[in-house]
Structure 1
């Protein structure tokens, strides 16, 4: 039906063009003869009309004039019309003057060409002119949701155009803001450019603005952060257009405009990676990712498929998460042999069978229990997964001659105060111990909190704001390092390319962020006032948490790599026999109570410190009672 409709529309368009050519030639002759065309010239007029229709139709077909969407016509389309009419006219003139030799004056040619160009251009641009006519519907009265567009470049103009054409949008654009001083007081489609970013607060009050749209996709993130800082001083709801790299072919739609995210507040530029170095150790190899269904593991898989491994093994314990990443990769049509594997890294026999069957050449070990408060209640489970599971995978990598093994660790492993942190530190020690006597290239990558990962505070804050509050913050002075999931995954893969043997890589997390300020910024950028519209409640530091995190122990120094976001720490040396002794201690301790487990961990990691508050003690007792009943 749509095809038939297009064909009918094309026929009507061609018929209309014939009328325009006829009218243009008649007017050209009428102007030449002062609206009194002599009877002896009518034969020439009809001949010229027929010839021009044929030649212009062929020229229009050649330049695809009938395949263009004129509602979005631009200078490019106008140039195409000019070329088509000019070529069609020149061909007709040459045909007539060389072969037919009808007596047609030069003025008739010129007038016909100019009138055809004028009428064709006007007819084609009527759709564009209609689309540019902005008449607000009843659904979006001018006072309903008045918006200020920050950025009067091509992206800002596209945003304005999309807002005009989006019938379901309640956003009413009022004016532009742009830092270019030469644009001040100029207008774009009837909207005035009020001035630079310093005019944002003044304009919000003057024009009763409720929404700010940042349309500057090519501006550095550091500048975007400065603009966001100004926006935070208003009570407006702030939206932003994604970066150019996130948009397909530069196309912008109203759906592309998104809410401000925490990544925008960090103000960091995207990570650049050495594609050649990465491809050299991933391409055409069998890659195993443990914890492939998790936040980091799944993003690792998405990044890895770009480098065309011969096979990608997706290992995870949860069937739903593995199914999800498997389907995601299938939909990307990456043409890579994907193998979803449901298994537990604690099952040594199962891991042995996996390595024997698939012979992975590169392993990214991202599987871990990582929720700090939960692991305080289940220290034995944290040890089984984070320590014993890591040992199983590392030993299989050594036994089956894996080329590279990259373990994902955490800043919570440094001077740990939590079960999660100390078990990750012991896992690091396991890797360092095995590396000393293995042909496999082992390395560890250590970084902090990942935005949007499972258990991250950011999704919690957003849900609490959406529900009207309160927003819960553990402590007003708590600070954390943050990076995005794609950043973390890309840097983990890049660090694997730098690895020579046993390195402990640290990822540059930028400046630490105060959690309390983060919560307040998210509330403001959602159009609310902290402690007025949305209450902030301080709940106290949870078991195992620290006010601030570190990336280095006192024994570790750093040196730079060729990547400005990756550093190498000087790891402590551990003998495999020493690690084996520690593992035996833990195997004996996990059947004991929580206090004895902690004491065993402290003998292995002397700088491990913990505080057991009254609430945690009751929780631990409840867990122990539950475990005894189930035994």
Structure 2
């Protein structure tokens, strides 16, 4: 209803205001060529209802029967007046009548001729739910459509296959986001394009830069001139403002009627005032800053420059010029006015740069109204490139309820989250508490699980870089964030003494555990690191990762299977490793349940082959990686790993090799880890599935790069 009211009022006003122009154009068309002034063509409107669109005639009378159905480039059928009208889009003015009678709107999908609509009727079914418009997003993208089509060898095919589908896409986008604010932004952007003013008043990232400022225009030349001579221009403007502020101070002091004597005082002192303020402004650099980046720092300089120059001017008037009758109140009034004038001419450049009329942003709910939350909101509001709109804070401090930080209100506590999500429908939740407890994070994840919403957090305080944007450091909630206790670090010195200068072999080196072992072992300076793996892609990835680090020792990739005794013996005989980490195993419980024979072959037979080979070739230490599922096993995977442990224990009784068994629980970040499954389920909007509500697991953290 509001849109239609706006259309009627503006169309009626437009027809009245442009009536003289319409009359002049009509006369020029008649003088230029034969035929009617108005060109009418059937277009398809709302609900597939045909209507006659009206334009000023810009082509010869016989144009519809000759040439292409589309106007392309410098079409010979266009009249002399028509070419001017098309360039300025003045031929569209009669469509104000279409808007007034209800066939069209100011903003809406451009109406197409019936032949195009019938070809894509299903696509137009959504587009034609609204009135077509004089301008829209597609009009901005294809504002010079005839010139674009002129570069094609087949303009009709180019229009139907490329241009028209893109117009439909933009029309659908407009319908999904239509509002009076967006309409006003499109109208203003259209007018700016026609005036060739390189200003963008709204941004829509999803539209692939629909609104590009014109590349060349008189305004571009003017802008270049201003930038070249900006410093002298600023100095002249500041001088004008200094004189204006001083005069206005006298006028305010004497209620608009300045006595003759005081006017003489103003004329006597104004040059000294300009000189003193000019020197102060130069010292404070007021004529050097770029106005589009005006900030609090610039305001401080303005205040400092005005106050210092006011004090110096006071001394000059009273002690040098000896004018004791100079009213003291004028010093204060003049300073206040000048600060307002100087800030007033600088701030609009910053405001217009940072505040487009329409910008589609992600709605963000910030949890935590402390220093970190304030920093996040400040950056989101001041830097448009983040494309985020903070809609509110959530904080458990009830004393902050309904308070505002940078204009953003504290909406409620964490317990109110479901109600706030339903009411405000944010697209992202940012946890702005760098050292949030894992229990707190898990509670948030549970509360937000029913909603399709992105959850982000800040790094810990010791990781949060003060010299970088807080928003740029926002990341997804990671697995360690949800752990109830801190990870336990290795005894690095003991491990270094064990590994340094030794030849180390890792079986299953391409797997999650094997590759992480390889990364950790490289920190302790082995003599040679042998990566033994049967999957070439996994082996290639870990070898490439380590090779890129330019390590001071050799990292040798070896393709081989732990069940292949001959290949394993060849490797052991050639390299003579002193330490062997046996991480090769089938560990995905559901897959192993469906393929038990393969599990027995790899986990049991493979372990026996490897252990016997290690004992035969004199490996000093053999570390077997097992699992907690080997304890009272209830699955095929657990049973095969338990059998492997028994095999190791049996071989160890008669071998000089030292055998060690290490049982892991769930490895965070490993292939097949339940935590990765949880993350996938959370990203997909849930539900999060668990084995049993009473289950408790210990986990090993696996750091993938």
Q: Deviations over 1:343-396 (max 9, x none)?
A: 224234444454555565654432212133443455454344324444455566
- 1:426 alignment partner, one of 627, 643, 650: 643
**Within the alignment, does 1:190 sit opposite 2:407 as a pair?**
yes
- 1:81–1:187 Cα change, 3 Å: closer
- 1:328–1:125 Cα change, 3 Å: farther
**Within the alignment, does 1:178 sit opposite 2:400 as a pair?**
no
- 2:510 alignment partner, one of 275, 279, 293: 293
TM-fit CA distance, 1:186: 1.0
Q: Deviations over 1:307-337 (max 9, x none)?
A: 6666544332111112223344456x46555
Write out aligned runs for 1:106-505 (5 A): 137=359, 139=360, 148-160=365-377, 173-205=390-422, 207=424, 212-232=429-449, 235=451, 237=453, 239-244=455-460, 251-253=469-471, 256-258=474-476, 266-274=482-490, 276-277=492-493, 280-281=496-497, 287-305=504-522, 312-329=529-546, 333=549, 335=551, 337=553, 339-346=555-562, 347-355=564-572, 363-376=580-593, 378-394=595-611, 405-432=622-649, 442-457=659-674, 479=695, 481=697, 483=699, 485-486=701-702
- 1:417–1:126 Cα change, 3 Å: same
Distance 2:347 2:409 in 1: 24
SS in 2 for 1:416: coil
- 1:51–1:479 Cα change, 3 Å: same
TM-fit CA distance, 1:193: 0.6
Distance 1:390 1:176 in 2: 56
* 1:555 aligned residue: none
Look at both structures and tell me which one has the larger radius of gyration over its CA atoms: 2
Distance 1:189 1:485 in 2: 40
- 1:308–1:119 Cα change, 3 Å: farther
Q: Which runs of 5+ in 2 are unaligned?
A: 1-223, 251-261, 313-319
For these two proteins, the number of residue pairs brought into alignment is 459
Whether the aligned pair in 1 keeps the contact of 2:534 and 2:559 (CA below 8 Å) is yes
SS in 1 for 2:557: strand
SS in 2 for 1:368: coil
Q: Which has the higher contact order (CA 8 A, sep 6+)?
A: 1
What TM-score do you get using the length of structure 2 for normalisation? 0.49
TM-fit CA distance, 1:60: 11
* 2:90 aligned residue: none
- 1:79–1:277 Cα change, 3 Å: farther
Distance 2:341 2:526 in 1: 58
Whether the aligned pair in 1 keeps the contact of 2:504 and 2:528 (CA below 8 Å) is yes
Q: Deviations over 1:212-258 (max 9, x none)?
A: 443333212122223334445x6563513153377676644479453
Distance 2:633 2:647 in 1: 16
SS in 2 for 1:216: coil
Distance 2:451 2:525 in 1: 48
Distance 1:394 1:9 in 2: 81
Whether the aligned pair in 1 keeps the contact of 2:525 and 2:553 (CA below 8 Å) is no
Q: Which runs of 5+ in 1 are unaligned?
A: 1-6, 95-101, 491-631
Whether the aligned pair in 2 keeps the contact of 1:312 and 1:336 (CA below 8 Å) is no
- 1:417–1:350 Cα change, 3 Å: same
SS in 1 for 2:555: strand
Superposed CA RMSD in Å reads: 5.8
TM-fit CA distance, 1:409: 1.5
What TM-score do you get using the length of structure 1 for normalisation? 0.54
Whether the aligned pair in 2 keeps the contact of 1:351 and 1:396 (CA below 8 Å) is yes
SS in 2 for 1:193: strand
- 1:226–1:389 Cα change, 3 Å: same
Distance 1:446 1:196 in 2: 43
Distance 1:430 1:36 in 2: 110
Distance 1:291 1:42 in 2: 86
Q: Deviations over 1:150-203 (max 9, x none)?
A: 22234434554566556796x764321112334222112322112322332443
Distance 2:339 2:658 in 1: 70
Write out aligned runs for 1:595-614 (5 A): none
Whether the aligned pair in 1 keeps the contact of 2:430 and 2:456 (CA below 8 Å) is yes
Q: Which moved more, 1:443-452 or 1:175-184?
A: 443-452
Q: Deviations over 1:469-522 (max 9, x none)?
A: 9x89797678462636427x99xxxxxxxxxxxxxxxxxxxxxxxxxxxxxxxx
